[in-house]
């Protein structure tokens, strides 16, 4: 009644949350948030529960509640050309890798939004691309190769700082071959457009 969902939808979402071993009180809170996300995003109940679970578990250091996560997704959905569904799918694929790279929840929201608006790729594709980029940028050999190409990057930087270092280096380079080499090192052949968009 509170979320405008059918009983069967509520039961599906509750079933998914029950498998996680949450208390009854926490199940009700997350279920309410997940069903609001279902209504706004077009995800089914199971997809919303999974997306919220991935965001909560992927960004444990942020200490966000399910309600706060849904509010952030909906606020971005409303203000920019990206859907809550795409955001949720991207977070379910890149969340924990992004947190490992020192990227905050809000920073990842911004990155996904920027890439979506520039490339019009889906959330799942963007999430997988960002996961690959953050993983590549944490490798010592990739960092060394980027340094050799003039990128001021090091292992102590967060994921966003590394992306900013790439951007600063690319802004100074006039040779398209060198620019493409930097982008390919950062994202691999298949993620060059995402690196450019970020």
Q: Check if the beta carbon of residue 182 is closer than 8 Å to that of residue 173.
A: yes
Each residue's pLDDT tens digit, 68-91: 988 888 889 889 988 888 888 898
Provide the pLDDT for residue 114.
93
Provide the pLDDT for residue 8.
77
Provide the pLDDT for residue 137.
93
Provide the pLDDT for residue 95.
83
Provide the pLDDT for residue 22.
76
CA dihedral 150, 152, 156, 159 (to 10 degrees): -90
Provide the pLDDT for residue 9.
74
Q: How far is CA 18 from the centre of its chain?
A: 25
Provide the pLDDT for residue 129.
93
Q: How far apart are CA 104 and CA 27, in angstroms?
A: 25
Which residue positions in the chain have pLDDT lower than 70?
none
């Amino acid at each position: 009644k509170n979320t405008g969902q059918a009983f069967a939808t509520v039961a599906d979402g509750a079933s998914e949350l029950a498998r996680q071993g949450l208390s009854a009180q926490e199940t009700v809170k997350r279920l309410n948030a997940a069903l609001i996300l279902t209504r706004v995003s077009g995800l089914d109940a199971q997809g919303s529960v999974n997306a919220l679970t991935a965001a909560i578990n992927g960004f444990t250091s942020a200490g966000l509640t399910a309600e706060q996560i849904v509010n952030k997704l909906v606020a971005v959905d409303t203000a920019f050309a990206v859907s809550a569904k795409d955001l949720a799918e991207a977070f379910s694929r890149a969340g924990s890798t992004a947190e490992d790279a020192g990227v905050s929840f809000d920073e990842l929201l911004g990155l996904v939004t920027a890439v979506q608006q520039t490339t019009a790729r889906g959330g799942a594709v963007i999430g997988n691309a960002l996961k690959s980029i953050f993983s590549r940028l944490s490798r010592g050999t990739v960092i060394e190769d980027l340094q050799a190409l003039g990128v001021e990057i090091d292992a102590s930087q967060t994921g966003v700082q590394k992306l900013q270092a790439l951007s600063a280096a690319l802004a100074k380079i006039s040779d398209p071959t060198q620019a493409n080499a930097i982008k390919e090192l950062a994202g691999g052949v298949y993620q060059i457009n995402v690196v450019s968009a970020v």
